[in-house]
Amino acid sequence: MFGNGTNTLYQSGPQARFFPPSESVMLLPGTYKNKVAFITGGGTGLGKAMTTTLSSLGAECVIASTLVISKTADEISQQTGNKVHAVQCNVRDPASVEAAVNQLVNDVGLPDVVINNAAGNFISPSEKLSPNAWRTITDIVCAAFLAITTIYAESGSVFVAPSAAAKAGVETLCTSMAAEWGRYGTRFNIIQPGPIKTKGAFSRLDPTGTFEKLMLETIAVGRLGTPAEIANLAAYLCSDYASWVSGAIIRMDGGEYVSLAGEFNGLKKVTQKQWAIMEAMIRNTKGS
Amino acid sequence: MFGNGTNTLYQSGPQARFFPPSESVMLLPGTYKNKVAFITGGGTGLGKAMTTTLSSLGAECVIASTLVISKTADEISQQTGNKVHAVQCNVRDPASVEAAVNQLVNDVGLPDVVINNAAGNFISPSEKLSPNAWRTITDIVCAAFLAITTIYAESGSVFVAPSAAAKAGVETLCTSMAAEWGRYGTRFNIIQPGPIKTKGAFSRLDPTGTFEKLMLETIAVGRLGTPAEIANLAAYLCSDYASWVSGAIIRMDGGEYVSLAGEFNGLKKVTQKQWAIMEAMIRNTKGS
Amino acid sequence: MFGNGTNTLYQSGPQARFFPPSESVMLLPGTYKNKVAFITGGGTGLGKAMTTTLSSLGAECVIASTLVISKTADEISQQTGNKVHAVQCNVRDPASVEAAVNQLVNDVGLPDVVINNAAGNFISPSEKLSPNAWRTITDIVCAAFLAITTIYAESGSVFVAPSAAAKAGVETLCTSMAAEWGRYGTRFNIIQPGPIKTKGAFSRLDPTGTFEKLMLETIAVGRLGTPAEIANLAAYLCSDYASWVSGAIIRMDGGEYVSLAGEFNGLKKVTQKQWAIMEAMIRNTKGS
Amino acid sequence: MFGNGTNTLYQSGPQARFFPPSESVMLLPGTYKNKVAFITGGGTGLGKAMTTTLSSLGAECVIASTLVISKTADEISQQTGNKVHAVQCNVRDPASVEAAVNQLVNDVGLPDVVINNAAGNFISPSEKLSPNAWRTITDIVCAAFLAITTIYAESGSVFVAPSAAAKAGVETLCTSMAAEWGRYGTRFNIIQPGPIKTKGAFSRLDPTGTFEKLMLETIAVGRLGTPAEIANLAAYLCSDYASWVSGAIIRMDGGEYVSLAGEFNGLKKVTQKQWAIMEAMIRNTKGS
Ligand SMILES: NC(=O)c1ccc[n+]([C@@H]2O[C@H](COP(=O)([O-])OP(=O)(O)OC[C@H]3O[C@@H](n4cnc5c(N)ncnc54)[C@H](OP(=O)(O)O)[C@@H]3O)[C@@H](O)[C@H]2O)c1
Ligand SMILES: NC(=O)c1ccc[n+]([C@@H]2O[C@H](COP(=O)([O-])OP(=O)(O)OC[C@H]3O[C@@H](n4cnc5c(N)ncnc54)[C@H](OP(=O)(O)O)[C@@H]3O)[C@@H](O)[C@H]2O)c1
Ligand SMILES: NC(=O)c1ccc[n+]([C@@H]2O[C@H](COP(=O)([O-])OP(=O)(O)OC[C@H]3O[C@@H](n4cnc5c(N)ncnc54)[C@H](OP(=O)(O)O)[C@@H]3O)[C@@H](O)[C@H]2O)c1
Ligand SMILES: NC(=O)c1ccc[n+]([C@@H]2O[C@H](COP(=O)([O-])OP(=O)(O)OC[C@H]3O[C@@H](n4cnc5c(N)ncnc54)[C@H](OP(=O)(O)O)[C@@H]3O)[C@@H](O)[C@H]2O)c1
């Protein structure tokens, strides 16, 4: 069992009512017709939401996970009416990625969309894949790659140094590849999500709920995000509507990052009365 | 008539065929029903494309320009079947912005979407608007603001220092406001377009076409962008599907920026044969 | 007299004792012999500290301010043994800048170092200076320019939007000029200071001291900076030792920015005992 | 034998004469008295230059390398008059780092300065070091850490994706640690060098010299950097003069990055005559 035991989207302030999440699919039906999409970590959380959205837009999806997740694949397929395949694969193990990619190619052909969403992401393959594997992967032309990193990938953050470093590596890998592989018909983009209440993220990062409360106070729109919101953005970025988007790093975080980073954010707690006193004092200051 | 006399989208390499622009509207019909949108510089180029897209999705649009542009407004309206109003306004002149905003509010009510697209952008109002004007503007709650800047706003660039500085100011203004005004129901986002062949941009920046050729070589996807592509991204960002996007800076440039910024980009011209020679030399190097 | 009535450098935690400020000049004596330096806002705070340092290293300094500050100039000169001139100048007024630059050139010749430190900075001149003024300024070759901005120039921040936007503009102006004017022998660099207790900054931004307390908690090294520390960095950046530094943006803030921006920074307050509980819960989580 | 066979510092344009490198040590003698410094890759190139500078300022240095480099250590020691130790260590192998650190602590005590300069940098240890090793390392309090990355760590670049990703990881690791470990008296900073002609960098990255020519054209100050220039900056950053610098990322690249990244940089080749033609055309453009 997960979370606060409910589906309530907790919010910090009244402004959250101005920003209700839109949970339905935004793109025109059929946008992904005849497209094959490969989503790592596609069986849970954000990955499952993205798979469901792409699938409902017509894509044939392949989801990868360390576990056997055919049941999830079937469930999504039933909901959307399009085929969803499941492959077992550990993205930290180059041989396993290689095998999964081979199976994928045999079963459904080369993917048009690759979403690198598994928690570990896969940074290793680029350096450790066998020449053979690279060849298979580099055959994947005309594909749109998308990596899911995090808002602290650029700035870094206390307590998550290894994950921050790995995600930063993924980002620079993607921007490098965006510059290098445009000529093969490939695009690479990145979504940096702020906090979204998936079981995976919150049970591990915030078992007591302490952190959720803290975060809500620094999210400008006053609420957490939802998997469906990430899924709509991802569906746009991997679609042909975004064929001129490559090397982009897109923050989707309800304005959390800009609120955190701004030096004077702490002053949000200053009351109207305190502001009045401060203003009077400032006006009375003379000289430098 | 403008440009190279044709509608051909020039391209630098064969890869551009992998990335054809999708010119149609991507969001579900009616996405902007009952919404009012205010677009500065909405009568030409990117502004006109964004207006047309929002209008065709159901919005009632108001376009502002230094010229009288009712004809353009009518033209768009005829195409989309929804009302489009035109107001005259110089965004560099606070009094003029104030008057336009007042007229807007009288005619159609407070806007739900404000797109700050006019070439000069409007950075001045925040400092110079009369208290009255600020009050009107700060009444605009629940609105989604979008500013159009440019990919060189962060890095700076030779030969465009004043525009780079102004656009950088707009970006930081927006991220600051995103952090500050979430509590009023307001979101602020930014699109940084790469080169898109509008008459405004190209006749002034590239009268001879020299620059276009240079740019095509550094755009990863091998072609310029189109106004319709910006319009789809803008329509997404200002819609409720993006209600959890605030303070985001989104580059849409065909991978130009990452290609420019990468130190080794110049080596793209190295031939296969030259790579072979270099590899042999590197292998023969001993010691540090 | 200023501040909390003492010269004590307040600190948030015991770690500040590991990071005592070094108040003496670090560069070799004579580093600035035969150099002329122009420092806006050089009569107080950071500007005065930078002037004193450059002067003590041998520079002939000219300080500019809206007020008549010959007394300050004399005071610094007496301390260092080198000439210090004062000119009156309002950096927001292009004509005033023009007149000051002319006087400067007449009195001491073209400057080798220009430090753009006045609180308003000068962003306007680039656009509004008369052709004549530009000519004078562009004659300033071989100079090292340094601008003092702030750590929130890039991220933006609540409550200081106009200043954040202006400083962002200054930064992009400088990086643009660094790229453009290398060929005239000119370098442009930027220091982004974190909070330093000058009367100018603190009496206006933090009249009640509330903010100082808050900041100390988010500064990694646990204390505010000192003007002498900025002065040493500035002296390095404008010296020939840094002749290969151009277009650089250097944060000097005791680690404040990285502490603010990191998403999990709030968790610093979690106690050892709470960590233990959280760890146990995380270990017990099964599945995604 | 290395490079162009001479010590000439090649330059692209006449402006390089305005920016002669200052090869001497800039800080006051004795700045590093009673300090212990550990420099990975300290036997060659930039590492050797930094070691020599710290040593001449009074530090007791320990240099680490995969090879036995006591000869280099002795050579530096003879030049500076201070002890220099050499340890063998492979920074890609956590056990080897652990052993080296233990030897270091036994021989000279805990270091005050750690410079992470070896080409591979060490990103792995944070995740793979044994609990024991971490304990040793986390005992290193009051130390100043410095990592040498590269200007393409943030932007990414074609042809160097793995190295770009690794260096990006190092940067985010450092900024994360800067936020987290200030409370242990530790600072973390980063230098991003542009191209500096060391045998290590150039024999591997530019065996034919093709790249050097290209780079010179995009370096604003018109020349490559020198190891001594990096050494002076490193000496400053690790000294007590910089005790308020933490989490900073400092580009030292002769203005290369800002020149590369700026969209209009390519226009630098436009001649005066071509500008005149363009200006006339722009003036003749009417309407948007
Ligand atoms: N939720 C948030 O607030 C948030 C914020 C920022 C970024 N993110 C990122 O978003 C992505 C998805 O996270 P989530 O919140 O949806 O959590 P999640 O449900 O735990 O998703 C992680 C998925 O990755 C799979 N996975 C983990 N290790 C793998 C491996 N070695 N090989 C293959 N698959 C692996 C997991 O499946 P198995 O366990 O079956 O292998 C799981 O389906 C992650 O990259 C996360 O870092 C999330
Ligand atoms: N096209 C590109 O490659 C490109 C790339 C990056 C960024 N951008 C940005 O995209 C935006 C739109 O550019 P565009 O390419 O579409 O060029 P454009 O057609 O010239 O658009 C500029 C619009 O702004 C209006 N405008 C200019 N000054 C104004 C003022 N003071 N007050 C009110 N309206 C004013 C113009 O109308 P009037 O002349 O009738 O006033 C015109 O409609 C601009 O901000 C531009 O910087 C464009
Ligand atoms: N202290 C901090 O914590 C901090 C942090 C980040 C950035 N900064 C920046 O550092 C710089 C120096 O600040 P400070 O703390 O030293 O404060 P300060 O003592 O108030 O310095 C500002 C100086 O600028 C001069 N000045 C202001 N407006 C001017 C104008 N229009 N024309 C000419 N001179 C003008 C002032 O002199 P007159 O009043 O005589 O004209 C004064 O000498 C500023 O740019 C500030 O934004 C400071
Ligand atoms: N020169 C440039 O233009 C430039 C530009 C940007 C960044 N950088 C960075 O600056 C740093 C120094 O480069 P450099 O130009 O001075 O080249 P270098 O002379 O090749 O320096 C690299 C040093 O690292 C040592 N090293 C390599 N792998 C190691 C390992 N696994 N364990 C321990 N030591 C190892 C090497 O010694 P052994 O071979 O004896 O092990 C050598 O002393 C590098 O991080 C480089 O990426 C250089």
Provide the pLDDT for residue C282.
66
Phi, psi of B59 (to 5 degrees): -75, 150
d(Cα D116, Cα D211) in Å, to the nearest integer? 26
Substitution target in D155, D159, D172, D177 with the highest count of A β-carbons within 10 Å is D172
Q: B27 to chain A nearest CA, in Å?
A: 5
For B260, the closest chain D residue by CA position comes to D261
Cβ of C150 below 6 Å from ligand 3: yes
Closest Cα to residue D243, out of D175, D182, D177? D182
Cross-chain Cβ contact D179/A158 below 8 Å: yes
Number of residue pairs across A and B with CB atoms under 8 Å? 190
Cβ of C125 below 6 Å from ligand 3: no
d(Cα B13, Cα B96) in Å, to the nearest integer? 46
- The tens digit of pLDDT for each residue in B132-177 reads 554 555 555 568 999 999 999 988 888 778 788 889 988 998 999 8
Closest Cα to residue A64, out of A101, A89, A29, A32? A89
Cross-chain Cβ contact C246/D28 below 8 Å: no
Cross-chain Cβ contact B165/C156 below 8 Å: no
Helix (H) or strand (E) segment spanning residue A186: none
Q: Check if D175 contacts A (Cβ < 8 Å).
A: yes
What average pLDDT is seen over chain B? 84
Cross-chain Cβ contact C161/B171 below 8 Å: no
Subunits close to C (at least 3 CB pairs below 8 A): A, B, D
The segment with the largest mean pLDDT, out of A162-171, A202-211, A243-252, D208-217, is A243-252
How many C-beta atoms lie closer than 10 Å to residue B102's C-beta?
14
Domains of chain B: 22-284 (3.40.50.720)
Q: B37 to chain C nearest CA, in Å?
A: 24
Which region, left, alpha or beta, applies to residue A59 given φ > 0 means left and ψ of -120 to 50 means alpha? beta
Catalytic pick among B10, B32, B152, B236 = B152
Q: Check if B193 contacts A (Cβ < 8 Å).
A: no
pLDDT at C139 over 60: no
C-beta separation of D146 from D170 below 8 A:
no
Scanning D47-66 for CB atoms below 8 A from B yields: none
Hey, CA dihedral for A197, A199, A201, A205, is it positive or negative? positive
Subunits close to B (at least 3 CB pairs below 8 A): A, C, D
What value does the mean pLDDT take over residues C147-159?
89
Residue at token pair 């044939």: A60
Closest Cα to residue C105, out of C157, C78, C50, C143? C143
Q: Is D268 exposed, middle or buried (0-12, 13-18, 19+ CB in 10 A)?
A: middle
Q: Check if A179 contacts D (Cβ < 8 Å).
A: yes
Of C154, C158, C247, the CB nearest to B180: C158
d(Cα B99, Cα C2) in Å, to the nearest integer? 45
C-beta separation of B63 from B117 below 8 A:
no
d(Cα B70, Cα B75) in Å, to the nearest integer? 9
Question: Any idea which ligand is nearest the CA of B67?
Answer: 2
Report CA(C251)–ligand 4 centroid distance (Å): 26
d(Cα B212, Cα D187) in Å, to the nearest integer? 46
- The tens digit of pLDDT for each residue in B198-207 reads 888 777 667 7
Pocket test for ligand 4, best of D46, D123, D214 (most atoms within 8 A of CB): D46
Phi, psi of D111 (to 5 degrees): -75, 150
Q: Which one has a higher pLDDT value, A141 or D231?
A: D231
Q: Is B263 exposed, middle or buried (0-12, 13-18, 19+ CB in 10 A)?
A: buried
Q: D194 to chain A nearest CA, in Å?
A: 17
Within 8 A of B31 by CB-CB distance, chain A residues are 26
Which residue, judged by its Cα, is nearest atom 7 of ligand 1?
A150
Q: Is D70 exposed, middle or buried (0-12, 13-18, 19+ CB in 10 A)?
A: middle
Cross-chain Cβ contact B155/C169 below 8 Å: no
Q: Digits of tens for pLDDT over chain D (288 positions)?
A: 233 334 566 666 778 888 889 889 999 999 999 999 999 999 999 999 999 999 999 999 999 999 989 999 999 999 999 999 999 998 878 788 888 988 888 889 989 999 999 975 444 334 444 445 545 555 555 689 999 999 999 888 887 787 888 899 889 989 998 998 898 889 999 999 999 989 888 776 677 777 788 788 889 999 999 999 999 999 999 999 999 999 999 999 999 999 999 888 777 777 777 777 766 776 676 555
- The tens digit of pLDDT for each residue in A12-38 reads 677 888 888 988 999 999 999 999 999
Report CA(C99)–ligand 3 centroid distance (Å): 20
Question: Any idea which ligand is nearest the CA of A149?
Answer: 1
* Residues contacting ligand 2 via CB (< 6 Å): B 40-41, 43-47, 64-67, 89-92, 117-121, 148, 150, 193, 195-196, 198, 200-201; D 288
C-beta separation of D118 from D41 below 8 A:
yes
Report ipTM (2 d.p.): 0.90
Q: A26 to chain C nearest CA, in Å?
A: 27
Report CA(D168)–ligand 2 centroid distance (Å): 36
Q: C267 to chain D nearest CA, in Å?
A: 10
C-beta separation of C145 from C223 below 8 A:
no
Report CA(C118)–ligand 4 centroid distance (Å): 41
